[in-house]
Amino acid sequence: RGCAACHGTMAEGTQNGPALKSGATPFTAVSFTAALWQHGPRMVDRSKELGVPWPTLKATDIGDLVSFLNAPVAPK
């Protein structure tokens, strides 16, 4: 959905967006939605600054994203 443009292909973060895989507390569908709700306004502003279209998530994307974000981070 374009998230990697700002958050990196492995959600490691870039200069345009923060890392999303902290490994600390696992995401749930509820905590993921709450994070989007809390940080959404800043993300909208930042996407406008960068000229990046706002992603449209499908209902089925949430489970996939939560699983991806909870997967172990590969060692460097």
pLDDT number for residue 57 = 86
Consecutive sets of 10 residues in the chain, 76 residues long: mean pLDDT of each? 90 92 84 90 92 88 92 75
How far apart CA 42 and CA 48 sit, in angstroms, is 10
pTM across the whole model? 0.79
How far apart CA 7 and CA 30 sit, in angstroms, is 20
Of 3, 1, 38, the residue nearest 19 (C-alpha): 3
pLDDT number for residue 70 = 92
pLDDT number for residue 55 = 85
pLDDT number for residue 69 = 92
pLDDT number for residue 22 = 72
